[in-house]
Structure 1
Amino acid sequence: MSNANPTLLKIRKCLLLVAFSFVVNISFAQTEKQIHIIKDEYRSSKLGAFTNDLKNNFTKENNTLLQAAKTNGWKLTERLADGNFSELTSIGDDGTPLYYSTFSTELNTATRANALHDNGLLDLGINGENMLVGVWDAGSVLTNHKEFDNRVQTLDQSEIVDSHATRVTGILVAAGLDKKSKGVAYKAKAVSHDWRRDKIEVAEMAANGLLLSNHSYGIMSNRVPDWYFGSYIQVSRDWDKIMYNAPYYLMVTAAGNSQRSKDNEAPIFGSASNGYDLMLGFATSKNGVTVAAADIETNDQGQLLRASVASYSSFGPVDDGRIKPDIAAYGTNIYTTGIENDNRYETANGTSVATPGVTGSMLLIQEYHEQMEGSFMRAATLKGLVLHSADDVDAPGPDYKMGWGVINSKSAVEVIANKGFSSMISEETLLEGETKTYTVLANEQEALSASISWTDPATGAVNSGTLNDISAALVNDLDIKITKDGKTFLPWKLNAAKADVAAVNGDNRVDPFEKIDIQNAKGEYTITVTHKNSLDQGPQNFSIIVTGIALTDCVLSTPEDIELTTSDETGVTFNWTANTDALFQVEYKKKGADQWNVETTFDSFISLQNLVEGTDYFLRVKTYCSENISSEYSNEFHFTFNGAETELVDYMEYETLTLEVQFSIFPNPVQTSMTINGDVSEDAMYKIVSLNGTVVRSGKAEQKQIYIADLTAGLYVLTLADLEGSKSVKFYKS
């Protein structure tokens, strides 16, 4: 069942031809109006000036690079023994040659993105259509691969058709002609570039509305001094500057595959063999998303059963203690597109192939938000939502191996769908010296969780040679806390000096994302957002996300006791049992018609006028507790309009029949499994539906035993149905 009502969706899926200064025209995802809205929040002059600086410096730096390579005998490019490709791209402040390398070693239920697809668990039809993603990699994509169907273009002068870039792009947008290769956003478009001018090209595309780009590469870990590891360096700041000046744009990058390399002989924690302190280059940027690889198992309902960090995935932290990587995704034995010919497929492992799983999922989440809310999210909101809704792994809170946990696209879109009912997503601005407060009521069905996320200014300390420099890169230090009855709840934080110790609650002074979780929350709480010191560069935008709250008294139940109460020569009036603080949607149509007429009301009755005498009509009603959250429809009622003589036809032949057999469940509340008490026919099926209308479990009911230990705590509805009809009962999972 879908929570998204097609009559309420604000779909903005027009195509626009956007001309970039360095490429031919390409059809882009956003409308002119949407791009205008995005640009209104951009610091266009600063972004343009920075882009010009990058361009002016590129030729000069490239000439210096070539001369230094010739003088020192450095290789410009190299195909490594493990199949990865490396290229000399710049020289560090200390004279170290910096080589970019791809991150592969020798799909997609693990991100739960398939729950959004056509016929997915949520049945949303979200597949990336008319969305665009940027791919920067070692070379260009094999654009004529049959899986891409003219949806992938090369936008620079790259002369290398690269297998790594083709694999990454396949994970993002492959159509799924071979079902095993189906991409996360399988109807989206992608633009391909090599990495030589990545900052320049991204800055120009971001200025024209690009929302997401994938970077499954980074600095080679075996060719830099130890002080580079975990450092916030110039390249880190450059990318933060792009994201700060283009606040709807988000960079997604791979953490790297150096866990067992022992390349950092002086990590900020432990020894070289422990795998900590291996983040390099733009993977340490404050505002981007850095992706770890994990071995993951989920069930057919999208619930995480098991997860552990992959044996190759690089660990954080950043030297100032920031949480990197940010998120984890599946990265092992992924079947995707190859380059031997346009029918070639390959299997790959690594953070390189975990990263497009996250990028593609974020693209779908943006698409869903635009459909539901009529706008895209700021990058900080998208990042915050993904971190907020991730599946926690092992000890509560984040860690330096998998960040905030395993990405869960299904949970992320449910937070959007529940907005106004049990969740809050708000993009705010904090002024100098301002305090913002929010009063919320716990819904007592799930943990109360609140987080803030912001795109931090790029100014601040840049390391140029200090080993394990703990100077904070964070510029604007925002803070969130929750209070109730004199008790204060603080956000999660980690300590780089104790990188293997579980997260604790306290004052987080380094991360531009903070989250608080309160288990078994009851009653009213106050959320407070403030900042320390002065705000650099003026007011600071931030996004707040809260889940586990009750924003309405509405009860998500299907309207009952629907009656035809009055009729006259022009119309009829129906009544039903009222639901506190609910909006009701009434749909009616002539017999044989394809489309329903839709009316809404906050009353427990509706009057339908201008009906045609002698005509058969059908009517049904559902409850809305927010714009996006609705109950199932009532039974369909059949009446023939005959003016004052109108009566309901015997609707039993049209409605879903009620099972004659009575049944109950034991125990209730349920902790691990429940038993159905009563006679159940051999063809009876069951389904368990959450309060937001999602079917979370289904199967045959004949065995009478249903295992639910892996469901989250909360109220559910169990429905039994067979050829005779259906019957439902509520239960609580403790």
Structure 2
Amino acid sequence: MNSYKPTYRTNSILLILFFIVFAANFATAQTSQQRLKIADNNKKTALANFRSNLVSEYALERTQLQEAAKLNNWKIKETLANGKKIELQGIGADGSPLYYETYADEAGLVSRASTLNTDGLMGLDLDGNGMNVGVWDAGIALQNHVEYTSRIAVGDENAEVDTHATHVTGSIISTGLKKDARGVANMANVISHDWTRDKIEVTEAAADGLLLSNHSYGIKADRVPDWYFGAYTKVAQDWDKIMYNAPYYLMVTAAGNAQKSSDNDTPIYGKTADGFDVLLGFTISKNNITVAGANSKIDNNGNLKSAEVSAYSSFGPVDDGRIKPDLAGNGGTVLSTDAASNTSYDTSSGTSMATPGVTGSLLLLQQYHEELYGEYMKAATLKGLALHTADDIDAEGPDYKMGWGIMNSKTAAELLNNKDFTSHVAEESLENGASFSFEVTAEGNEPLIASISWTDVQSSFVNTGELNNTTAALVNDLDIRITQNGKTFLPWKLNPAQASSAATRGDNKVDPFERVEIANASGSYTITVTHKGDLINDMQDFSLIVSGVAMTSCSIQAPEVALDAAETSSVELTWDATEDALYEIQYKEVHQQEWTTEYISINTFSWKALLLDQTYSFRLRTFCSQNIASEFSEVATFTFNGEETELETLNALSADSQIPFNVYPNPAVDEIQLNVKTSDTAVYRIMSTSGVELKMDAATNSRINVSDLPSGLYVLQIQDFDVNKSTKFYKY
């Protein structure tokens, strides 16, 4: 087999420099140019042909529905006693009527999306501004609700306004005029449709660059025969085809609320009362994300304290044993917008409510990736990132109740930020008969986790009536392995015949996502991606996500500056070199307000055209990746005196700076105290170790409140005139 070993740090300094210099020019909104770029990556002919087929099928199905409904006395639309709306949407292969229903029985906190928002713990100010998301539902959302009135476009003008659609839409984009009803992506835009022509409209929108859509509905479980449960049917095949041909588009759907409904008398595992094997319809698609409902407790720092699957949330497995649902979100008593008036609100529960929380979180992660790297992720990367970073619940590994666990937007965002430092995210392609290998070094203080995710071609196999048929829907079967010194580490897998058993490690032959974990990893490992059989279309794109690795030997310790030489009008400043580093240098005449900034890849700087008896300041920091930098060095100051020039000691600037700078108590619980005197203009900053500024204020008070920070290691900086001092502390 051919083997491809990529070298990712080639020209990394130039790439880092490019992104640092031009990052300010990247817009976080999805622009028309970006939509065109996404559209250019779509299989346009295939999408156009498929849309044409869907339109023809839809016209024929509508005629057949009307005739069958009249013949069998089926109602086309119905409002049930509990107020829920259902609608006849198709006829199954066996002649069964297929009704759509919304998955609500009566969002962003549990997914940790709130840590990404403006004033969130991570200080990222992500709110979905300018981003677009599609919502398909029983009807359209109330367009003039005060929470989002200018940020909703209606795709089906003649559709009825629907309470459920309004609630779902608000869960994603409500501004937060009522604080507890704030949406996950509270400045994003929604395109609202009813569900009547969902596949046709999504095909059109995905072809035009839509990234995400929310579907909090599905086939009504109590009106289909048992073989539908877990079966890969034409509707799942159609949605997989849309996503395969539009590789940036991801469908997010609710798992359903049928756990306790006893609708499946012959589940693939256990008894009806166990609640397994009640997924059906497009929830079973391979390429989407299917969302379970969870009851969770999250502390103020975004840490998951406890979680359990909601009593209503539908369980997997699907018949071929794939891991479904994929993720879980908060579905319990969610306050959101209501359609009764443009100022009304209501609470609702169900996987319908869990799904928009996940959809909004995924939208923010797309916004963050574009902000960091100037482009959006493919759907396989986004899905893989969410599954890779989910909070595992109960037994180790995935399960058929909540998939890979509770979505954790905070961990996902941190992984993106640490790319090329302690994590790796790459979109690759595997050719038929080839293998892919990648060498990594474990960071040593957390598990080594490697995942592959791919958007698989739709299966040619469609179940038309066989109960619990275990034929795999997976077409292009990729495999990931990690090896070290002859030992092979395998991915997680589940067994549908033992659906309540814990996950095991082995050869996964059914899932288009595989994840390998190594606890207590140490040393070098080789990640290898291969495939079984022949690849359809002779290749398969995939995304590789790795965490818990040291991608560079670059040090983020603040450099120390030395004066190496001085001449008649210049000085040579030096510092210790670090491998794979880019240096940001800043310099100025001491009384100037603004620093001049440059980026260089060598550890010396020749400062020319200096004037005698003028005093100058210089500082620098080390970039080890695009987003990870050291603290700035202490300011090096000198009065230029030709060849006699020397760096001045800090006590020449401030007598107080002779005092060693640290904080106590360390570790801290609620507050830290400074043991250094400061002027009235001094400012403190608390930074994460990855360089994100979390707090800033005047340092005139020696006590600093840190009770609102999550547990972890932090950097405290004090800036007082030209003195810039820093220390680290740990917060319990």
TM over 0.5: yes
Compute the displacement of 1:705 (Å): 13
Q: Which secondary structure does the structure 2 equivalent of 1:481 belong to?
A: strand
Query: What is residue 406 of structure 1 aligned with on the other side?
Result: 406
Query: What is residue 606 of structure 1 aligned with on the other side?
Result: 605
Deviations 1:172-199 (A, max 9, x none): 1111222222211111111000000000
- The CA distance in 2 between the partners of 1:614 and 1:198, in whole Å, is 74
- The CA distance in 1 between the partners of 2:73 and 2:412, in whole Å, is 50
Compute the displacement of 1:581 (Å): 3.8
Answer whether contact 1:564 1:575 (CA < 8 A) is retained. Answer: yes
Compute the displacement of 1:413 (Å): 1.6
Q: Which secondary structure does the structure 2 equivalent of 1:69 belong to?
A: helix
Q: Percent same amino acid at aligned positions?
A: 46
- The CA distance in 1 between the partners of 2:27 and 2:707, in whole Å, is 42
Query: What is residue 670 of structure 1 aligned with on the other side?
Result: none
Answer whether contact 2:446 2:548 (CA < 8 A) is retained. Answer: yes
Deviations 1:207-239 (A, max 9, x none): 111111110111111111111111110000000
Compute the displacement of 1:101 (Å): 0.7
- The CA distance in 2 between the partners of 1:366 and 1:327, in whole Å, is 18
- Alignment-mate amino acid for residue 607 of structure 1: S
Question: 2:690 aligned to 680, 689, 692, which one?
Answer: 692
Query: What is residue 24 of structure 1 aligned with on the other side?
Result: none
Query: What is residue 669 of structure 1 aligned with on the other side?
Result: none
Residue 180 of structure 2 corresponds to residue 180 of structure 1: yes
Q: How many residues align?
A: 705
- Alignment-mate amino acid for residue 586 of structure 1: I
Query: What is residue 133 of structure 1 aligned with on the other side?
Result: 133
Query: What is residue 422 of structure 2 aligned with on the other side?
Result: 422
Q: 1:661 to 1:212 in 2, by over 3 A?
A: closer
Residue 396 of structure 2 corresponds to residue 396 of structure 1: yes
- Range that drifts further, 636-645 or 467-476: 636-645
Q: 1:633 to 1:80 in 2, by over 3 A?
A: farther
Alignment of 1:588-667 (within 5 A): 588-589=587-588, 596-609=595-608, 619-636=618-635, 660=660
Query: What is residue 84 of structure 1 aligned with on the other side?
Result: 84
- The CA distance in 2 between the partners of 1:538 and 1:654, in whole Å, is 69
Query: What is residue 11 of structure 2 aligned with on the other side?
Result: none
Alignment of 1:149-160 (within 5 A): 149-160=149-160
Deviations 1:363-421 (A, max 9, x none): 11111111222221111111011101111111111111111111111111211111111
- The CA distance in 2 between the partners of 1:609 and 1:657, in whole Å, is 29
Query: What is residue 372 of structure 2 aligned with on the other side?
Result: 372
Q: 1:659 to 1:172 in 2, by over 3 A?
A: farther
Alignment of 1:331-730 (within 5 A): 331-559=331-559, 561-564=560-563, 566=565, 571-589=570-588, 596-609=595-608, 619-636=618-635, 660=660, 691-693=689-691, 716=713, 728=727
- The CA distance in 1 between the partners of 2:668 and 2:555, in whole Å, is 24
- The CA distance in 2 between the partners of 1:304 and 1:414, in whole Å, is 16
Residue 20 of structure 2 corresponds to residue 13 of structure 1: no
- Alignment-mate amino acid for residue 12 of structure 1: F
- The CA distance in 1 between the partners of 2:704 and 2:189, in whole Å, is 47
- The CA distance in 2 between the partners of 1:234 and 1:77, in whole Å, is 23
Deviations 1:686-727 (A, max 9, x none): 9997643468999x999999999x968xxx457598999976
Alignment of 1:322-337 (within 5 A): 322-337=322-337
Compute the displacement of 1:81 (Å): 3.0
Query: What is residue 12 of structure 2 aligned with on the other side?
Result: none
Query: What is residue 255 of structure 1 aligned with on the other side?
Result: 255
- Alignment-mate amino acid for residue 449 of structure 2: S
- The CA distance in 2 between the partners of 1:83 and 1:659, in whole Å, is 71
Answer whether contact 1:10 1:372 (CA < 8 A) is retained. Answer: no
- The CA distance in 2 between the partners of 1:342 and 1:96, in whole Å, is 39
- Range that drifts further, 593-602 or 391-400: 593-602
Q: 1:701 to 1:400 in 2, by over 3 A?
A: farther
Answer whether contact 1:682 1:702 (CA < 8 A) is retained. Answer: no
Deviations 1:646-676 (A, max 9, x none): 776775668995764877989xxxxxx8899
- The CA distance in 2 between the partners of 1:189 and 1:631, in whole Å, is 37
Compute the displacement of 1:112 (Å): 1.5
Compute the displacement of 1:426 (Å): 1.2
Q: Which secondary structure does the structure 2 equivalent of 1:435 belong to?
A: strand
Q: 1:257 to 1:615 in 2, by over 3 A?
A: farther
Answer whether contact 1:381 1:543 (CA < 8 A) is retained. Answer: yes
Compute the displacement of 1:424 (Å): 1.1
- Alignment-mate amino acid for residue 552 of structure 2: T
Compute the displacement of 1:455 (Å): 0.6
- Alignment-mate amino acid for residue 268 of structure 2: I
Answer whether contact 1:126 1:364 (CA < 8 A) is retained. Answer: yes
- Range that drifts further, 173-182 or 546-555: 173-182
Q: 1:565 to 1:224 in 2, by over 3 A?
A: same
- Alignment-mate amino acid for residue 344 of structure 2: R
Residue 214 of structure 2 corresponds to residue 214 of structure 1: yes
- Range that drifts further, 512-521 or 171-180: 171-180
- The CA distance in 2 between the partners of 1:141 and 1:317, in whole Å, is 33
- Alignment-mate amino acid for residue 133 of structure 2: V
Q: 1:413 to 1:682 in 2, by over 3 A?
A: same
Compute the displacement of 1:117 (Å): 2.0
Compute the displacement of 1:308 (Å): 1.1
Answer whether contact 1:8 1:627 (CA < 8 A) is retained. Answer: no
- Alignment-mate amino acid for residue 558 of structure 1: A
- Alignment-mate amino acid for residue 631 of structure 2: E
Q: Which secondary structure does the structure 2 equivalent of 1:537 belong to?
A: helix
Alignment of 1:199-348 (within 5 A): 199-348=199-348
Compute the displacement of 1:68 (Å): 1.3
- Range that drifts further, 5-14 or 91-100: 5-14
Q: 1:180 to 1:609 in 2, by over 3 A?
A: farther
- The CA distance in 1 between the partners of 2:332 and 2:654, in whole Å, is 50
Compute the displacement of 1:562 (Å): 2.8
Q: Which secondary structure does the structure 2 equivalent of 1:263 belong to?
A: coil
Structure 1 residues not aligned, in runs of 5+:
16-28, 667-672
Compute the displacement of 1:617 (Å): 5.7
- Range that drifts further, 151-160 or 199-208: 151-160
- Alignment-mate amino acid for residue 176 of structure 1: G
Compute the displacement of 1:102 (Å): 0.8
Q: Which secondary structure does the structure 2 equivalent of 1:65 belong to?
A: helix
- Alignment-mate amino acid for residue 585 of structure 1: E
Q: 1:436 to 1:130 in 2, by over 3 A?
A: same
- The CA distance in 2 between the partners of 1:14 and 1:704, in whole Å, is 32
Deviations 1:13-49 (A, max 9, x none): 287xxxxxxxxxxxxx2332x3343233322111110
Answer whether contact 2:563 2:572 (CA < 8 A) is retained. Answer: yes
Q: 1:185 to 1:729 in 2, by over 3 A?
A: closer
Answer whether contact 2:686 2:717 (CA < 8 A) is retained. Answer: no
Answer whether contact 2:291 2:351 (CA < 8 A) is retained. Answer: yes
- The CA distance in 2 between the partners of 1:612 and 1:376, in whole Å, is 49
Answer whether contact 2:122 2:694 (CA < 8 A) is retained. Answer: no
RMSD: 3.7
- The CA distance in 2 between the partners of 1:169 and 1:651, in whole Å, is 57
Q: Which secondary structure does the structure 2 equivalent of 1:584 belong to?
A: strand
Compute the displacement of 1:537 (Å): 2.3
Query: What is residue 18 of structure 1 aligned with on the other side?
Result: none
Answer whether contact 2:660 2:676 (CA < 8 A) is retained. Answer: no
Compute the displacement of 1:582 (Å): 2.6
Answer whether contact 1:328 1:406 (CA < 8 A) is retained. Answer: yes
Answer whether contact 1:658 1:727 (CA < 8 A) is retained. Answer: no
- Alignment-mate amino acid for residue 438 of structure 1: F
Compute the displacement of 1:637 (Å): 5.1
Q: 1:595 to 1:665 in 2, by over 3 A?
A: closer
Answer whether contact 2:236 2:281 (CA < 8 A) is retained. Answer: yes
Answer whether contact 1:107 1:181 (CA < 8 A) is retained. Answer: no
Q: Which secondary structure does the structure 1 equivalent of 2:622 belong to?
A: strand
- Alignment-mate amino acid for residue 455 of structure 1: T
- Range that drifts further, 162-171 or 720-729: 720-729
Compute the displacement of 1:580 (Å): 4.3
Query: What is residue 23 of structure 1 aligned with on the other side?
Result: none
